[in-house]
Every structure is written in C-alpha cells, then in structure tokens.
Amino acid sequence: MLSDDELVLIIPSKEIKEEILQYKEEHFKSGDMQVHGSGGLAYYDDFDDWLEHIDSIRKMKSDNDIQTSTFFSKRLSDGKLIGCIKFHHSLNDELKNGGHIAYGIRPSERRKGYASKQLNLMLNFAKQSGLTEVIVACDKDNVASTKTAMRCGGILVKEFTEDGMVKQHYHFELNCL
C-alpha cells in the first residue's frame, strides 16, 4: 500500500469496522452531513452493506461501470484513521463535474496538513494506475480544499455552477510527480 512517513492508505475492511464507525460518528457529531471521499458511508445504516457497495465499485460492478477505489488514510504513529479518499479510475458524463478524486479529513484532524499528504498519496496511486492527468473538484467556498489542491500542484482550469454552488476543477499533470 502507498505510504509516506506519516500516513498509509488502506482498503476498508471488516477488521477495522469499529474505527470506521467511530470516524463516521465523529463527522456527524461535528455537524457534517456527509463523509467526503467514503463512497457514501453516511447513507448506509448497515456497515456490511456499505462495505459490499465499495467492494463492488472497486471491482467495476456498479451501475455506471466506473471503477472506484476507496481508501482510508491511517496515521502510522498510532493507527488512527485520519481521512477517507476515493478515486474514479475514469470519468463518464455523470462524473465529469465530480472529478477523479474526492476526499475528506476527520474533524479533529483538520488543519494539520493531512489533506495534502493524503491527496499526494492518491495522486501517486492514480499515476501507478496508468493515468497521466486527473481532475479534483471542490466547492469554491471550501477554502481548505482549494488550498489543498493548489498545494499539491493542482491548477484551476474551470469554474461552474451546480445545484446553486460554484464548483472548481483543479487539473493535475501526473507526469510531473
């Protein structure tokens, strides 16, 4: 699995069910309505159903035939789940506005530089998967995400409105990594 000196990307599994449920609960307790980058974890009441869902999209057994890999980032020093990130291996018309990568950091670990570390790990994964470029989308008013994208080498290439929100696309050239 991909790692740097602080984080490692791991595939969700039953073995870390309790840690994942604690991660989800922390988001809800902080007022988050979603668990970004998790493949819909917030919308599943049954952990096994969610795990089956992300396993099926990793194996391209989804409605849109787009392979999507979902990971948690785990801090090496104490094993705590820090963030969640998903990667669409390709884009179709439905996903073009969402981009290749979506991610989030647990509320208690935000503003500590983990989003950039996690995104860089995923950019390396995308490169190893054979892509030469990726798009990351975020809400324009999500200052933390826009700063993370730029810090990791993303270049703003597009702004558009979707569901009343201004969104941005950041382009990453993976050959430069």
- State the distance between the two ends of the chain, measured CA to CA, in whole angstroms: 18
Region 71-88: mean pLDDT is 96
Q: How sure is the predictor about 95, in pLDDT bands with cuts at 50, 70 and 90? A: confident
Q: Tens digits of per-residue pLDDT, 14-25? A: 999 999 999 999
The radius of gyration of the chain's CA atoms, rounded to the nearest angstrom, is 15
Q: Give the mean model confidence (pLDDT) for residues 87-99.
A: 86
The residue behind tokens 């990793």 is 58
Question: Residue 5's pLDDT is what?
Answer: 82
- The pLDDT assigned to 107 comes to 97
Q: How far apart are CA 91 and CA 86, in angstroms?
A: 13
The two tokens of residue 133 are: 């470029």
**E strand intervals along the chain:** 7-10, 68-75, 81-88, 101-105, 133-139, 155-162, 165-173
Predicted pLDDT at 37:
92
At 115 the three-state DSSP class reads helix
Predicted local confidence at residue 62, as pLDDT: 57
- Per-residue pLDDT reduced to its tens digit, 116-135: 999 999 999 999 999 999 99
Say whether pLDDT at 27 is over 90: yes
pLDDT given at position 66: 83
Q: How far apart are CA 129 and CA 138, in angstroms?
A: 23
Question: What is the per-residue pLDDT for 60?
Answer: 73
Q: Spell out the domains of the chain, with CATH numbers in brackets.
A: 7-131 (3.40.630.30)
Q: Among 160, 41, 166, which Cα is nearest to 96's?
A: 160
